[in-house]
DNA sequence: TGATTATGCTCTCGCCTAGAACAAAACATG
DNA sequence: CATGTTTTGTTCTAGGCGAGAGCATAATCA
């Protein structure tokens, strides 16, 4: 499920082991030595030699001397090649967009970041499209895929529904005119934040984790074996539209009633204070309100407490249902937890089944911050690229272009 | 992730392909021809010859002539060997236990079935233990594993909590004195019903499915790639303890509030009618109430409608959150859906996000009936056995015993 | 009876990895 | 500073595996 097929022939076996090696390099952040990789993958040293040489010849990895040198013959760190594969990650938000380039191992650099006020105006997309094409040209031949993170439901590469933006069934890939590129992937920002957490954050190595990403509302994903569940149509993780913590009769903009979204997120926080803020400034405003609360402002403080409690209760309910090993929070969720950890925890315990209270799941605020969706987007692209197929493409591409 | 490792050497490659072949035979119910298997697995005919011969020599499969003969040279059905592997499945319930033997391909026969009134009395376990040992002796050397289905939360092979039975942290495997056997697996009945549905029912081939099993309350599992999620501690699928459809303030016996369990299941149905029925007769009674409703009894009819609506609303909420391709119902859930399909559907649509209403997930009543946990138990055992390790064990065992 | 059709069997070939033996490059020690 | 120790890289051989080709086989069809 998702590109990693087991080999059935000896030829595929080679490709499979090359992929495994490359994935290990990527997962290790490009900071593992050749001998570590050899041990980790259970390869013979001779085999490792062949495989690493092949990847180095293809300009995917480069060996460099390590900082510290233990006793015996020195080994080398296997890291990304300076002319190696790059994933471009575009993070499109209600109020801004950015483009980040990530190399094998996950090291990334945000190349460009623009604010906008136009919501989904076509010229915002045109601007982003132009920037992406420019960056691809700059990185001549190194871009193996483009990922786009959007605050919206995504299905089969199309934006199905963006409640807060008023988008419905938009073919973003076509609008960005990236059809020509072989590997373009679209993802929901919360799902991608979960992916980032699974690969580079607190859910690393966790069998079953739950990640919640709070922005205007609440989204997230169950993470199973390092992979967020995306649902049959790529629209899972809409936890905000479970009736977890509030008035079951209250209507939600999504068309249902009693949604958790009505009680948690920037929208809820602002509504609780009776304020009226335009969509494209709500996230910033909500962060400011949480800061105000921390500084002792009573009205903000009360609102934050209410939201934090509702957040906690929903978390408890979700833990009841799914029994995760760990729960991680990103976006506004992390801020909320940092501002009122005891309130969130109390809400959670309140909703937990009694026998689970003895060993509740660990709640952690993500340390990836606002970069989470970007990082996850790059991981999504590398997931698609680090396959037998991707390797073949890279090799033939480099051979023909050289 | 569950025993299926990818090969890294050519020796493992052979074992891997043997396993794939055996799994395909099992998944196909032992009714696939050699040529079908060859095509399905993408093998060369020569390779298939070698692999099938090897499995036949090990007395795992047996080739037999097919019923219908198409044009060319006749091929053979690859089915279970009469002296081949057998999984024993014990289904332990509040009021009875049974033992079922399943062969490769899933064909099963219930060998023994006893009623009891003693709940968890030690002599019930002793009786079951004796019966299991007897069956193992009868099936001399063919039993590759024993699975046990229990109506309780299970963690690390121990019964953690059985609300309606009063069991807490019971080491059932030790109590049954089966420690000697290499492969003993314990599972929750709802989770195993979901597994059965995934392998032999309506969730076959479904990428992400949701199975709900209604008895006194509601349990179930998300099925991902043919495998039910069990949670970090094996206690997932407690969907009944999400506050999905009722009064959020109402206290539940589990220690939380507003649980779905309060509105759906035998307990809820009986409570809605203001009746008072002992725990061990509630399931039967609830079925009778649903039958009464179908016959036109107004009080029962109203109660069933209310429960069905709450059931539907919760399903809708879960579909919002997880976006399953299909939803299957077993136990009382199937009865409820058959009795009032339009009410369930209406409740579901009511809770769905508007944009999902265009293509809602398909709801299906399971056709496996009461056998679902048994079937799932056998599948659990074969899952553990049909691995490179399991094959090795079988081969060495047969070699030394022959 | 002979043509057609699809499958099974056998053998060769190329590919892959393990493992052993040897070489190399550092550090540790006196 | 020279020598021994330790760990890793390199090279080569042996054994195993599956693809594919060519042939054999067993049924149906005309």
- Does residue A250 register a pLDDT over 60? yes
CB proximity list for B173: less than 8 A, separation 6 or greater: B148, B157, B158, B179, B184, B186
Greatest Cα-to-Cα distance within chain A, rounded to the nearest angstrom: 70
Contact A241 B8 (CB under 8 A): no
- Does residue B192 register a pLDDT over 90? yes
Residue A13 or residue B98, greater confidence: B98
Q: Report if residue B206 sits inside a domain.
A: yes
CA angle, B368 as apex, B363 and B369 as ends, to 5°? Answer: 95
Which of residues A80, A107, A129 is at a domain's end?
A80
Instruction: Give residue B400's pLDDT.
Output: 55
User: Which nucleotide lies nearest residue B63, CA to C1'?
Assistant: C8
Q: Report if residue A242 sits inside a domain.
A: yes
- Residues B246 and B262 reside in one and the same domain: yes
- Residues A139 and A181 reside in one and the same domain: yes
Q: Report if residue B4 sits inside a domain.
A: no
Instruction: Give residue A401's pLDDT.
Output: 53
Chain A partners of B347 at a C-beta cutoff of 8 Å?
none
- Residues A233 and A91 reside in one and the same domain: no
Instruction: Give residue A118's pLDDT.
Output: 63
Instruction: Give residue A121's pLDDT.
Output: 65
Nearest CA to A148 out of A132, A162, A136, A135 is that of: A132
- Residues A42 and A110 reside in one and the same domain: no
CB proximity list for B102: less than 8 A, separation 6 or greater: B86, B87, B89, B108, B375, B378, B381, B382
B229: nearest CB among A208, A231, A353:
A208
- Does residue A68 register a pLDDT over 70? yes
- Residues A70 and A155 reside in one and the same domain: no
Query: For the ranges A101-115, B59-73, B165-179, which has the lowest average pLDDT?
Result: B165-179
Test the A interface: residue of B241, B262, B346, B350 with most A CBs within 10 Å: B241
- Residues A227 and A119 reside in one and the same domain: no
Q: Residue B16: which CATH number?
A: 1.10.10.10
Give the pairing of strands A77-80 and B86-92. unpaired
- For residue A112 the two structure tokens come to 């460009």
B232: nearest CB among A207, A237, A239:
A207
pLDDT tens figures, A146-197: 999 998 888 888 887 776 667 788 888 888 888 777 789 999 999 999 999 9
Q: Report if residue A4 sits inside a domain.
A: no
Q: Tokens 């020569």 identify what position?
A: B46
- Does residue A38 register a pLDDT over 80? yes
What average pLDDT does the segment B178-198 reach?
A: 89
Residue of B nearest to A153 (CA): B355
Instruction: Give residue B399's pLDDT.
Output: 55
Instruction: Give residue B2's pLDDT.
Output: 35
Instruction: Give residue B401's pLDDT.
Output: 53
Domain count, chain A: 3
CB proximity list for A93: less than 8 A, separation 6 or greater: A151, A189, A283
CA of residue A31 to C1' of nucleotide D11, angstroms: 28
CA of residue A27 to C1' of nucleotide D5, angstroms: 34
- Does residue B15 register a pLDDT over 60? yes
Q: Report if residue B241 sits inside a domain.
A: yes
A237 CB near a chain B CB, below 8 Å? yes
Q: Report if residue A246 sits inside a domain.
A: yes
- Does residue B402 register a pLDDT over 70? no
B38 touches strand D (CB under 7 A): no
pLDDT tens figures, B261-309: 999 999 999 999 999 998 778 888 999 999 999 999 999 999 999 999 9
Question: Which 21-80 residues of chain A touch chain B by CB within 8 A?
Answer: 41-43
Residue B272 CA to residue B269 CA, distance in Å, equals: 5
End-to-end CA distance of chain B: 34
- Residues A315 and A345 reside in one and the same domain: yes
Per-residue pLDDT band for B94 (boundaries 50, 70, 90) equals confident
How many CB atoms sit inside 10 A of residue B330's CB? 29
pLDDT tens figures, B110-149: 999 998 876 556 788 899 999 999 999 999 889 999 999 9
What average pLDDT does the segment A269-285 reach?
A: 91
Residue A87 bridge partners (DSSP): A102, A145
Residue B10 or residue A199, greater confidence: A199
- Does residue B326 register a pLDDT over 70? yes
Instruction: Give residue A111's pLDDT.
Output: 96
Which nucleotides of chain C does any protein CB come within 7 A of? 4-11, 14-21, 23-28
In degrees rounded to 5, what are phi and psi of residue A327?
Answer: -120, 125
- Residues A152 and A214 reside in one and the same domain: no
Residue B359 CA to residue B356 CA, distance in Å, equals: 6
- Residues B74 and B99 reside in one and the same domain: no
Residue B37 CA to residue B39 CA, distance in Å, equals: 5
- Does residue A3 register a pLDDT over 50? no
Residue A191 CA to residue A225 CA, distance in Å, equals: 15
Q: Report if residue A5 sits inside a domain.
A: no
- Contact present, B223 and A302 (Cβ < 8 Å): no
Q: Which domain holds residue A57?
A: 10-80
Which of residues B34, B61, B80 is at a domain's end?
B80
With a pLDDT cut of 70, the percent of chain A lying above it is 95
- Does residue B370 register a pLDDT over 90? no
- Residues A225 and A344 reside in one and the same domain: yes
- Residues B226 and B324 reside in one and the same domain: yes
Residue B233 CA to residue B235 CA, distance in Å, equals: 5
Chain A partners of B15 at a C-beta cutoff of 8 Å?
none
- Contact present, A229 and A237 (Cβ < 8 Å): yes
pLDDT tens figures, A94-104: 888 999 999 99
Q: Report if residue B5 sits inside a domain.
A: no
Give the pairing of strands A184-188 and A143-150. parallel
B236 CB near a chain A CB, below 8 Å? yes
Q: Residue A236: which CATH number?
A: 3.30.420.40
Test the B interface: residue of A241, A313, A324, A328 with most B CBs within 10 Å: A241
Protein residues closer than 7 Å by CB to strand C: A 10-11, 13-14, 17, 42-47, 50-51, 69, 71-74; B 8-10, 33-35, 38, 45-46, 48-50, 53, 70-76
- Does residue A328 register a pLDDT over 60? yes
- Contact present, A143 and A225 (Cβ < 8 Å): no
- Residues B75 and B138 reside in one and the same domain: no
What average pLDDT does the segment B348-364 reach?
A: 90
How many CB contacts within 8 angstroms connect chain A with chain B? 181
Give me chain B's average pLDDT, please.
90
With a pLDDT cut of 70, the percent of chain B lying above it is 95
């Amino acid at each position: 499920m998702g590109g990693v097929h087991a080999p059935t022939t000896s030829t595929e076996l080679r490709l499979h082991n090359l992929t495994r090696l490359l994935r290990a390099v990527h997962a290790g952040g490009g900071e593992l030595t050749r001998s570590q990789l050899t041990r980790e993958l259970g390869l013979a040293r001779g085999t490792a030699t062949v495989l690493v040489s092949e990847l180095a010849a293809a300009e995917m990895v480069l060996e460099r001397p390590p900082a510290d040198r233990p006793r015996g013959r020195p080994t080398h760190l296997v890291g990304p090649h300076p002319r190696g594969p790059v994933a471009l990650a575009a993070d499109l938000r209600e109020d801004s967009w950015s483009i980040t380039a990530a190399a094998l191992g996950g090291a990334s650099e945000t190349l460009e970041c623009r604010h906008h006020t136009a919501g989904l105006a076509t010229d915002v997309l045109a601007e982003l499209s132009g920037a992406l094409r420019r960056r691809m040209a700059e990185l001549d031949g190194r871009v193996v895929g483009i990922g786009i993170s959007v605050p919206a439901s995504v299905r089969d590469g199309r934006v199905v529904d963006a409640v807060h933006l008023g988008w419905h069934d938009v073919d973003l890939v076509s609008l960005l005119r990236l059809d020509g590129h072989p590997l373009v992937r679209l993802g929901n920002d919360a799902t991608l934040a979960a992916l980032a957490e699974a690969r580079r954050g607190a859910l690393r190595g966790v069998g079953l984790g739950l990640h919640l990403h709070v922005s205007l509302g609440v989204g997230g994903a169950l993470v199973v074996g390092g992979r967020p569940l995306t649902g049959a149509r790529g629209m899972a993780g809409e936890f905000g539209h479970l009736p977890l913590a509030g008035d079951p009769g209250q209507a939600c903009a999504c068309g249902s009633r009693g949604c958790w979204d009505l009680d948690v997120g920037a929208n809820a926080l602002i509504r609780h204070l009776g304020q009226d803020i335009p969509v494209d400034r709500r996230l910033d405003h909500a962060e400011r309100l949480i800061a105000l609360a921390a500084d002792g402002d009573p009205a903000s403080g009360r609102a934050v407490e209410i939201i934090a409690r509702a957040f906690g209760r929903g978390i408890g309910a979700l833990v009841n249902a799914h029994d995760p090993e760990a729960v991680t929070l990103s976006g506004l969720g992390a801020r909320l937890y940092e501002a009122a950890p005891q309130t969130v925890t109390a809400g959670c315990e309140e909703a937990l089944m009694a026998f689970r209270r003895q060993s509740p799941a660990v709640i952690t605020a993500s340390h990836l911050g606002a970069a989470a969706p970007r990082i996850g987007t790059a991981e999504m692209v590398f997931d698609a690229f680090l396959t037998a197929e991707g390797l073949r493409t890279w090799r033939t591409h480099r051979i023909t272009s050289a």
